[in-house]
Structure 1
Amino acid sequence: MDEVEAAVSRDEVTVVVAHSERATLRVGDVFLKVDADQARIEAEARAMSLAPVPTPEILWRKPPALALAALPGTTLGSLGGASTGSAAAWAAAGAAIRKLHDGPLPPWAGRAGRSVAALAAELDAECETLVTSGLLPADLVTRNRQVAEAAFRPWTPAFTHGDLQIAHVFLDGDRVTGIIDWSEAGQGDALYDLATFTLGHEEHLDDVIAGYGADIDLDVIHAWWSLRSLLAVRWLSEHGFDPFAPGCEVDALKARM
């Protein structure tokens, strides 16, 4: 459920996103998420029930599927696409993210809560693969691995979404109407969410931070941009997505050079 699509017929099935791990279909105003990992579906439903921000209504849940009602409004855009919305809309998104991060902690670690040691080991292995496979040039990988180092520091656990792309936050004007795709949620580093939300749209970072209402270490945001992109490039390439498209992950890596 990566974005709202206008005027979908009630008898038309639209594939919103699909790969070997999961798929999301839209039929009218219902989104059907099918996931091979039932633990992930259960975690998503539980996270939505705990999140202190608007989320889609769960219509029903029956393995291997989760049916969700569509949210009103539109997103601010997508990675690689033109960004939309006023500065106030981006600030409103920042305020909603802050409300999430200030909420009671869920009792499990999420994607943004991996230990520094585990994350560094994963990143080093992925960087080696990117270079040896020839997928990315060595100098690009090396420079962004250096930038990513700033993310490896102590952080206070927050309620994090874990995959807070701008296509996952819906607004009606300057009001956030809901946040979708909670399968990676849990305790984690708040700056991971802020970095994910602004990846590829650096021009709106100040607006988001203004709405968030806290001092932010920009070096850590830059680090997460590099780290997330390095970890994503190969997976995206292998699952039918294009991280080399303008404004996407590889361009985010090049911006750090």
Structure 2
Amino acid sequence: MDEVEVVVAHSERATLRVGDVFLKVDADQARIDAEVEAMGLAPVPTPRVLWREPPVLAIAAVPGAALGRLGEPSPASSAAWAAAGAAVRKLHDAPLPPRPGGAGRDPGALAAELDAECELLVTTGVLPADLVARNRRVAEAAFRPWAPAFTHGDLQITHVFTEDDEVTGIIDWSEAGRGDPLYDLATLTLGHEERLGDLVTGYGTEGGVDLDLDVIRAWWSLRSLLVVRWLAGHGFDPFAPGCEVDVLRSRM
């Protein structure tokens, strides 16, 4: 019998792997519903749903390997990154899904959330005040009007799989929906700034998305500021080399 591998586990959800099957356990049935719906609508390769029995969703593994991991150099080729960019463009150009997604928060509400989080980061001594203040200023560029697109909403580097420089699967769609397309591009290149050019090469500059690199950089700061305390409180290490705190330091 294959061993059970704990891929990720915290108080909100857990993902287990048994051979070529992933079991996603989520107390929030709405997230599972959103994930299945998004995978059915997305015009890109997604995992095959094997069965659903709330609160568990079973999906098949996708072939290939992830583009990389946060905190480590990406082993994927420039061509693989360009292929990922082309796939994300195809997603963003698709008809809008019915649901709002994780990348679709109102700029005003998001700014207020960020200000509150920045204050906590400083008052609790998690991060130095100058580091927080500098990245808060950088993040300002993300608070602008944007045209909604079909977004993945949590497009981490570990969620895009390629083989022979082709995208074979994009996983973890629970945050998918209508949202800011530049949030997806920023999430995918977080901690891998040197790969942004390859991604943009595949993504292209034509179409309805205003490809503003300053906004992508703003999202690097914004996302990192918002998740540092959450990560630290859920068994992850945002202070590890190349991870979120290093992303924030790079803006200095």
- TM-score of Structure 1 vs Structure 2, range by shorter chain: over 0.9
Candidates 118, 140, 165, aligned match of 1:149: 140
1:244 equivalent to 2:239? Answer yes
Is residue 212 of structure 2 the alignment partner of residue 217 of structure 1? yes
- The Cα offsets for residues 172-203 of structure 1, whole Å up to 9 and x where unpaired, read as 12110010000111000000000000010011
Equivalent residue for 1:203? 194
Instruction: Give CA deviations for 1:118-163 in whole Å, capped at 9, x if unaligned.
Output: 1011101100110111000000000000000000001110000011
Distance 1:14 1:32 in 2: 10
Question: Does residue 1:179 correspond to 2:170, yes or no?
Answer: yes
Q: Which runs of 5+ in 2 are unaligned?
A: none
1:219 shift after superposition:
0.8
Aligned partners of 2:136 and 2:100: how far apart in 1?
24
**1:1-257 aligned within 5 A:** 10-214=1-205, 216-257=211-252
CA distance in 2 between partners of 1:83 and 1:28 (Å): 25
Q: TM-score, normalised by structure 1?
A: 0.95
- In structure 1, give the amino acid aligned to 2:248: L
Sequence identity of aligned pairs in percent?
77
Provide Cα deviations, 1:79-98, integer angstroms capped at 9, x if missing partner: 11221111111100000000
Greater mean alpha carbon deviation, residues 117-126 or residues 215-224: 215-224
* 2-structure distance, mates of 1:189, 1:39: 21
Deviation at 1:11, TM superposition (A): 2.5
Matched AA of 1:181: D
In the alignment, the residues of structure 2 paired with residue 111 and residue 118 of structure 1 have an alpha-carbon distance, to the nearest angstrom, of: 13
RMSD: 0.8
Question: How many residues of Structure 1 are paired with residues of Structure 2 in the alignment?
Answer: 248
CA distance in 2, matches of 1:142, 1:199: 19
How much does 1:71 deviate?
0.4
Q: Write out per-residue CA displacement over residues 207-250 of structure 1, whole angstroms, 9 at most, x where no aligned residue.
A: 00010001621110110000000001000000000000000000
